[in-house]
C-alpha cells in the first residue's frame, strides 16, 4: 500500500491517538465502578468502542482496538484482576465470545465500507467517463477528438505519453495523435505499434528493453501487466471486428494500474477506438466528396465540349457533302469521318446525361417481336454479308415487356454490331428471346474471341476496350457502358457470359409485362 502523504499521515496519527485515549478513558471509567459492573456491561461497552473505531477508521484500527479491548477486558475486569490469567471457564467463554463478535463486526463493517466506496468510485468513474465521452467525441474535427482522447488517457492514468496510431494510405500505422511532449527519436515505438497492428495483439515493452506479445483478444484492462514490468504498452484498437488503429501508452517508471484504473483504461481505450474510427470515416467521406466533385466537373466538361463540337461537325459534314457532289472523292472520306465523330460526340453527350440522370426514358408495354424486328432491320446494313439468326421462344404465344422502345433498340443494335465487329467472318450471329420469371431476356451470341474473365466487368466501364480487341475494329469503348446504363435506367440489366464452345453471350434483360385480361394479343 502506498504511504499516505504528509498531512494525511498526521491526520491518521491523530486519529489513532484519539481512539487510544477513548479506550483508556473507557477502561478507567469502568474500572472506577468495576464493583457494580457485570461482564456483559463491560463487553458491550468495549464492543461499542470497537465498532465506532471501525466505522471511522481502517480495518487495522478496528482489529487493533478489538485486541486491545480484549486485553483490557481480561486485565482489568476478569478475576484475578491485574493479570491476564483466567481461572473460570465461563470467563473464557465471555472473553472469546467478545473477541469473536468484535472480529466479525469489524470485518463486516470493513466489507460494507469497501463496497460502498467501490460503488462511489464506480459512479464517479461513470460520471467522469460520460463527461469525457461527450467532451472528446463531440469535438468539432475528428482529429481534435483523437487528440483530446489521447490527452485524457495520459492525464487521468498518469502516463508519461499516450499516442494513437492510425493506418496510413498503405495500411501501415502512422502517428495520429500524441499527448505528452514530442516523440523520442528512434523507431522502437513504430516497430512495436506495427507488430501490434499486424498481429492484432498487444505488445509489452519491458523496462529492461525486451518485448513480449500478449495473448490475442486480451482486452485493454487485462493487458496491463500486474507486475509493473511494462515501460510501454501498444494495444490494437478494434471497432466491430476491425482494427482501426493502435493505442500506445508509456510510463518510464513502469505501468501499473489499480483495478478501478484498469476498468477506466478499458473504457478510455474504447473511446480511442471510436475516435480513430471517426477519423477514418471523416477521411473516407472527404475522399468520396472529392471524387463526386471531380465526377461532376468531368460530366459538365464532357457535356459542354460535346455540345460545342456538334455545330462545327454539322457544318463540316454539309460542306463535305456538297464537295462530294462535285466529284471530289476525298470529300466522301471527310463526310464519313465527320459521321463517325458525330456518333462519338452523341455518345459522349448521352453518357453525361445518363450520369446526371437527365436522359428521359419512356417505358411502355411493347412486344419483344417488334423490338427484334426493328433491330434486325436496323442491323441489316452494318451486318451485310453476316448470317443473322433470330429466334423467339416458341413456349410463349407473345412476349411482352415494359421498356423504352427507342433506347432498347439502340442497346440491341449495339450488341449485334459488336458481335459482327468482333466475330470472325463466316460465323453466324444469333439473337434469342425468351421469358425468364419476371424478365424478358435478349441474348446476343457470337463465335468471336470472347472476353477474358478479368475484363468481363471492365468492358462496361466508359472508354474501356478489352486487351484482346482488334485495334482496327473501330469504336472507343462507349457502346457497352451506355447500353448497360440504358438497361438499368429502365429496370433491366446487361451482362456478359462466355459462350460454351467459344465466343460471347451478352444477356440484355428488361422487365416483362403481362397481357391485360381479355385483351387480344397484339
Ligand atoms: P467498342 O466501341 O470498343 O466496341 P464497347 O463498349 O461496345 O466499345 O465494347 C467495349 C469492349 O468490349 C470492346 O472494345 C471489346 O474489347 C469488347 N467487346 C464488346 N463486344 C464484344 C464481343 N461481342 N466479342 C468480344 N469482345 C467484345
> If you ran DSSP here, which 8-state letter would residue 459 be given?
G
**Span from the CA of 293 to the centroid of ligand 1 (angstroms):** 29
Give the model's pLDDT for residue 472: 53
Residue 401's DSSP bridge partners are 366, 512
Query: Residue 18 and residue 326: Cα distance in Å, rounded?
Result: 128
Give the model's pLDDT for residue 522: 47
**Span from the CA of 219 to the centroid of ligand 1 (angstroms):** 54
Query: Are the C-beta atoms of residues 474 and 326 closer than 8 Å to each other?
Result: no
Ligand 1: which of 420, 459, 461 to mutate, judged by most atoms within 8 Å of the beta carbon? 459
Task: Establish whether residue 422 lines the binding site of ligand 1, counting it when its CB lies within 6 angstroms of any ligand atom.
Answer: yes
**Span from the CA of 512 to the centroid of ligand 1 (angstroms):** 27
Neighbours of 226 (CB within 10 A): 9
Which residue's C-alpha cell is 482494427? 243
Give the model's pLDDT for residue 469: 54
Q: Which atom of ligand 1 is nearest to the CA of 469?
A: 16
Instruction: Calculate the CA dihedral of residues 271, 185, 170, 230 and round it to 10 degrees.
Output: -50
Query: Residue 133 and residue 272: Cα distance in Å, rounded?
Result: 10
For the chain, 522 residues long, the average pLDDT of each consecutive 10-residue run is 62 88 94 89 91 81 90 91 87 88 89 88 80 75 88 88 87 82 79 87 89 80 78 90 90 86 85 89 93 88 85 91 87 89 87 84 94 94 91 84 96 96 94 94 96 93 75 74 94 96 96 72 48
Ligand 1: which of 422, 455, 460 to mutate, judged by most atoms within 8 Å of the beta carbon? 422
Query: Residue 323 and residue 317: Cα distance in Å, rounded?
Result: 10
Residue 445's DSSP bridge partners are 430, 505
Query: Cell triple for residue 280?
Result: 477514418
Query: Are the C-beta atoms of residues 241 and 273 closer than 8 Å to each other?
Result: no
3-state secondary structure of 207: coil
Task: Establish whether residue 469 lines the binding site of ligand 1, counting it when its CB lies within 6 angstroms of any ligand atom.
Answer: yes
Q: Which atom of ligand 1 is nearest to the CA of 448?
A: 24
**Span from the CA of 3 to the centroid of ligand 1 (angstroms):** 82
Positive/negative CA dihedral, 340, 346, 352, 357 = negative
Count Cβ atoms within 10 A of the Cβ of residue 179 and give its class: 0-12 exposed, 13-18 middle, 19 or more buried.
Answer: buried
Which residues, 6+ apart, have CB-to-CB distance to 488 below 8 Å? 494
Query: Cell triple for residue 188?
Result: 522502437
Distance separating the N- and C-terminal Cα atoms of the chain: 96
Give the model's pLDDT for residue 61: 85
- Write the DSSP string, 241-298: TEEEEEEEEE-TT-----HHHHHHHHHHHHHHHHHHHHHHHHHHHHHHHHHHHHHHHH
Amino acid at each position: 500500500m502506498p504511504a499516505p502523504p504528509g498531512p494525511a499521515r498526521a491526520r491518521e496519527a491523530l486519529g489513532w491517538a484519539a481512539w487510544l485515549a477513548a479506550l483508556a478513558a473507557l477502561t478507567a471509567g469502568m474500572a472506577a465502578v468495576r464493583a457494580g459492573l457485570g461482564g456483559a456491561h463491560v463487553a458491550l461497552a468495549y464492543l461499542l468502542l470497537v465498532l465506532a473505531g471501525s466505522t471511522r477508521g481502517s480495518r487495522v484500527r478496528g482489529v487493533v482496538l478489538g485486541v486491545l479491548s480484549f486485553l483490557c477486558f481480561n486485565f482489568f475486569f476478569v478475576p484475578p484482576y491485574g493479570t491476564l490469567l483466567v481461572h473460570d471457564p465461563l470467563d473464557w467463554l465471555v472473553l472469546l465470545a467478545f473477541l469473536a463478535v468484535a472480529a466479525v463486526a469489524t470485518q463486516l463493517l470493513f466489507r460494507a465500507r469497501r463496497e460502498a466506496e467501490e460503488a462511489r468510485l464506480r459512479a464517479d468513474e461513470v460520471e467522469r467517463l460520460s463527461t469525457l465521452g461527450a467532451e472528446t467525441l463531440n469535438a468539432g474535427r475528428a482529429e481534435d477528438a483523437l487528440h483530446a482522447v489521447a490527452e485524457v488517457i495520459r492525464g487521468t492514468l498518469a502516463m508519461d505519453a499516450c499516442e494513437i496510431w492510425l493506418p496510413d494510405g498503405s495500411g501501415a500505422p502512422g502517428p495520429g495523435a500524441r499527448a505528452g511532449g514530442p516523440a523520442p527519436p528512434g523507431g522502437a515505438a513504430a516497430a512495436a505499434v506495427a507488430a501490434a497492428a499486424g498481429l492484432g495483439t498487444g505488445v509489452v515493452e519491458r523496462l529492461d528493453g525486451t518485448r513480449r506479445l500478449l495473448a490475442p483478444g486480451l482486452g485493454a484492462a487485462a493487458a496491463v501487466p500486474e507486475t509493473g514490468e511494462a515501460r510501454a504498452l501498444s494495444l490494437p484498437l478494434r471497432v466491430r471486428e476491425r482494427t482501426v488503429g493502435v493505442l500506445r501508452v508509456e510510463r518510464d517508471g513502469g505501468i501499473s494500474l489499480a483495478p478501478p484504473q484498469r476498468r477506466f483504461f478499458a473504457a478510455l481505450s474504447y473511446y480511442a477506438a471510436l475516435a480513430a474510427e471517426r477519423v477514418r470515416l471523416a477521411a473516407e467521406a472527404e475522399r468520396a466528396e472529392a471524387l463526386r466533385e471531380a465526377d461532376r466537373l468531368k460530366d459538365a466538361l464532357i457535356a459542354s465540349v460535346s455540345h460545342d463540337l456538334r455545330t462545327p461537325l454539322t457544318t463540316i459534314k454539309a460542306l463535305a457533302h456538297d464537295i462530294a457532289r462535285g466529284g471530289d472523292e476525298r470529300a466522301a472520306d471527310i463526310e464519313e469521318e465527320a459521321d463517325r465523330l458525330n456518333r462519338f460526340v452523341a455518345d459522349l453527350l448521352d453518357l453525361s446525361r445518363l450520369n446526371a440522370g437527365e436522359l428521359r426514358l419512356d417505358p411502355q408495354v411493347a412486344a419483344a417481336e417488334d423490338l427484334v424486328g426493328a433491330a434486325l432491320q436496323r442491323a441489316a446494313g452494318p451486318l451485310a454479308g453476316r448470317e443473322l439468326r433470330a429466334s423467339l421462344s416458341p413456349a410463349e404465344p407473345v412476349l411482352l415487356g415494359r421498356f423504352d422502345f427507342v433506347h432498347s433498340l439502340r442497346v440491341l443494335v449495339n450488341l449485334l454490331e459488336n458481335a459482327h465487329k468482333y466475330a470472325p467472318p463466316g460465323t453466324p450471329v444469333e439473337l434469342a428471346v425468351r421469358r425468364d420469371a419476371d424478365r424478358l431476356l435478349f441474348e446476343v451470341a457470337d463465335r468471336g474471341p470472347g472476353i477474358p474473365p478479368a475484363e468481363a466487368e471492365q468492358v462496361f466501364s466508359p472508354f474501356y476496350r478489352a486487351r484482346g480487341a482488334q485495334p482496327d475494329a473501330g469504336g472507343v469503348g462507349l457502346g457497352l457502358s451506355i447500353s448497360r446504363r440504358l438497361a438499368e435506367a429502365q429496370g433491366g440489366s446487361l451482362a456478359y457470359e462466355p459462350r460454351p464452345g467459344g465466343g460471347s453471350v451478352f444477356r440484355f434483360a428488361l422487365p416483362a409485362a403481362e397481357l391485360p385480361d381479355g385483351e387480344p394479343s397484339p
